[in-house]
Structure 1
């Protein structure tokens, strides 16, 4: 199987939208969607998508 730098980077990262997923989970319990969006520098739509993704896991 052929390995590439890009492939290894994607497997080594544990984030969605450039956000550490575990950090988002801990802060999601205590903060509103607006606070999460402003802290992580993402839109409210991306916060909703992340929360939807959490419920599927």
Structure 2
């Protein structure tokens, strides 16, 4: 059985989003592409997509 998005985030134990300023991320996400956001914050494209997905739920 495949792991869902919630399960994959908790299983690895290594979270790169610790140093991300979420207020700054929200402001910049409308101006920059996913690739530029990943480069700016030093995270992967998958992390950018997951973060946008989580922020859009709230």
The answer to whether the superposition gives a TM-score over 0.5 is yes
Residue 27 (1) aligns with residue 28 (2) = yes
Q: TM-score, normalised by structure 2?
A: 0.68
**Structure ID, larger Rg:** 1
Which is richer in strand?
1
The runs of 4+ residues in structure 1 deviating greater than 2 Å are: none
Q: TM-score, normalised by structure 1?
A: 0.69
Q: Which runs of 5+ in 2 are unaligned?
A: 1-15
Q: Which runs of 5+ in 1 are unaligned?
A: 1-15
Q: State the aligned residue count.
A: 42
Name the structure 2 match of 1:37: 38
